[in-house]
Amino acid sequence: MPHVVVKLVPGKSEEQKSRLAAAIVKDVMATLGYDEGAVSVALEEVPREDWAEKVYKNEIRAHWKQLYKEPGYNPFQ
């Protein structure tokens, strides 16, 4: 039962967020073989000024070995 959480800075429209969630569900179904009802997607908006501390430091850098796609920059540099 995959649950995907996407963190992003505010500013995307509801249509963009809905399309992203639908694309994620579609890809999870195709790649992992789950039915649509088994997949859930949440989008959490994090203000840009909080991104480095709340997301990069606590979720990306702290769990680096779990990443399948690393970010292309370090906001602390």
Dihedral class, residue 65 (left if φ above 0, else alpha if ψ from -120 to 50, else beta):
alpha
- Establish whether 75 is a catalytic residue: no
Give how far Cα 47 sits from Cα of 24, 63, 70, Å.
22, 21, 20
Strand runs (DSSP E) across the chain, as ranges? 3-8, 40-45
Catalytic residue among 2, 10, 47, 75: 2
Side-chain-side CA neighbours of residue 9 (13 Å): 8
Show which residues are catalytic. 2
